[in-house]
Amino acid sequence: MNETTETTKNQRSAGILLPLFSLPSAHGAGCFSAEAYGFIDRLAQAGQRFWQILPIGPAGLADSPYQPLSSFAFDPLYIDLSRLAAEGLLHEDELHAMPWGTDPARIDYAAVRGGRAHLLPLAFQRYQRDPWIGRFEEENAAWLEDYALFMALRDHFGPAIPWCAWPAAIRDRQPEAMAHWRQTLSDEIAFHRWTQYECSREWEGIHGYAKEKGIAIIGDLPFYVSYDSADCWAHPDLFLLDDQRRPSRVAGVPPDAFSACGQLWGNPVYDWEALADTDYAWWTARVHRLASHFDVLRIDHFRGLAAFYSCPSDAEDACGGTWTTGPGLPFLARMQQEAGSTRFIAEDLGFLTPDVHRLRRDAGIPGLKVLQFAFDGDSSNAYLPHNYDSDCVVYTGTHDNNTSRGWFRTCGSTERSQFCRYAAITADREEAAAPAMIRLAQGSVAKTCIIPMQDYLNLDENARCNTPSTIEGNWCWRMLPGACTESLAAEIRKITALYGRL
């Protein structure tokens, strides 16, 4: 176990949640650039122990990081174009010629991905193969070959055409078709291998720098994969698909207080019996790779390991779904074994039942407490700080929540009144909401406290990252250049020290 992980395991600590894509950048979205190194410096100045990010795999539907095109690959959106220019693979005038978007506080994904679709192939054409890429390709062949071919085919047939609609021979991965397309698209396949090599070496630099500064990075393990993904195409036997390779059932969550019709995510459901027959080989490979990139892994939708909710693939909403027992503790213990020194935290939010709490406790994994869920007027509410035990991670809100200031402006009168009494603030001062939330989180007994960057910046609902059950307008927020100042880092350090979390 490395020194950073050992230290953070045994003492009170704090960190900041900021997606990589939300970093400032000259090229439309945050990436593996100088701004990432600068943010790590700020975290160290602020006395933080953790940087939590969202999944950094290639985003699929609606640019969601939770609909990845691969569970193993990086999103080429994160390649640092300035680094490519410094290495002579791109020219500065080529970078400046691209329309990266007009609002520095929002990502224009069409512009960002369009610009990279033009520039990255140019850089690859100028790239002189170095000896390290061969080693990378060899070490990652188990997933890289399928991913590179999948992406080349997706480019060829068009991203609007799901793999199930490809010609049957390549849809079904018949050997003759696989050989044909590998030869036909050999240049395109080589390009996609190179993007992953470039991402990998850039991320290794960032992760290594964070370790030098004493910062542990919390990565994210999405529970499901996108149907239109290299994973599902390459391993259809691991999912519940019909004879046309289409999902027979899809994932979601049932109706609740936040959604009258529930949430129909559309992800294919795992065939857990088939996975168990392989000793969960695909999952262990996935966890092994992520554990090499991060110091802590957040297990998204943890409750799906106890029992998961699914609906028929033709359902219009999530009202008619059913619960099925998940893989449980034997699976989780296998994943912990594979992760080695990389620890887990459990996203145990949503519809929780005793089996979910029991699984988390038996596995020895801390769960999440979200302050925005606390103020319903019930003093026994599990999200109120006086009801915590120490083995948890407290947040003011997560990427799925409003900002704390935005929450205060839009929550009901009961919640607002209860929050104001609990936090001892005046109801008509919305600018006081986020600082009060931060104090409650930092001062709680939770061993770890993670605050979204938007709350330290005291931003309103316009800085919200994601609104569940919606598609448009998510994953777009960007921190403005210069917003995370030395003076802000000093203020964060003061409150972190005040509550014994330095």
As a whole number of angstroms, the distance between CA 365 and CA 351 comes to: 18
Give all strands of the β-sheet with 322-325 in edge-to-edge order: 263-268, 249-253, 307-312, 322-325
Number of residues assigned to the chain: 502
What are the angstrom distances between the C-alpha of 463 and each of 23, 355, 438, 470?
13, 35, 17, 16
DSSP, collapsed to helix, strand or coil, labels residue 250 as: strand
Classify each residue of 250-280 as buried b or exposed e, where b means 16 or more C-beta atoms within 10 Å of its C-beta.
bbbbbeeeebeebbbbbbbbbbbeebeeeeb
Residue with tokens 């001892």: 424
- Give the DSSP letter of residue 479: P
b/e map 180-194, b = 16+ CB within 10 Å: ebeeebeebbbbbbb
| C-alpha closest to that of 305 among 261, 264, 357, 342 | 357
- Asked if residue 164 lies in contact with residue 246, where contact means CB atoms within 8 angstroms, the answer is yes
Report residue 360 as tokens. Answer: 């988390």
Residue 317, amino acid: D
Could you write out the three-class secondary structure of 118-179?
HHHHHHHHHCCCCHHHHHHHHHCHHHHHHHHHHHHHHHHHCCCCCHHHCCHHHHCCCHHHHH
Distance of CA 438 to the CA centre of its chain: 23
* CA dihedral of 443, 448, 454, 455, whole degrees rounded to 10: -10
What DSSP string describes 373-406?
Answer: GS-SS-TT-TTSGGG--SSEEEES--TTSPPHHH
For 66, the token pair is 């939770």
Residues with a known catalytic role: 300, 347, 400
